[in-house]
Amino acid sequence: MVRKLDRRVAFYTKKVAELYAIHPSKALPARYKYRSSRLFLYKALLHQQIEEAGYKR
């Protein structure tokens, strides 16, 4: 289970880095339009899975 969580954390970290690597004055590409909201949902589910695995925040 720890390995699965490690992969999920790595995926989330990579996607957040990709999103915020774009300069704020530049327009986001069309595929990034809803990425922020999807990442927030993914983060909430990730925290839930971490707590279910027995880890504390």
Let me know if residue 28 belongs to a domain: yes
Predicted confidence (pLDDT) per residue in 24-57, tens digit? 899 888 888 888 889 999 999 999 988 888 887 6
Let me know if residue 13 belongs to a domain: yes
Per DSSP, the chain holds a count of helices (H) and strands (E) of: 2, 0
Let me know if residue 42 belongs to a domain: yes
pTM: 0.70
Q: Give the per-residue pLDDT at 14.
A: 94
Task: Report the domain count for the chain.
Answer: 1
Let me know if residue 43 belongs to a domain: yes
Residue 20: partners with Cβ closer than 8 Å, 6 or more residues away = none
The parent domain of residue 38 ranges over 2-52
Residue 16: burial class (beta carbons within 10 Å; 0-12, 13-18, 19+): middle
Q: Give the per-residue pLDDT at 40.
A: 92
Let me know if residue 25 belongs to a domain: yes
Cα(4)–Cα(1) distance, rounded to whole angstroms? 5
Let me know if residue 23 belongs to a domain: yes
Let me know if residue 17 belongs to a domain: yes
Predicted confidence (pLDDT) per residue in 7-16, tens digit? 988 999 999 9
Let me know if residue 57 belongs to a domain: no
Q: Give the per-residue pLDDT at 36.
A: 86
Q: Give the per-residue pLDDT at 1.
A: 58
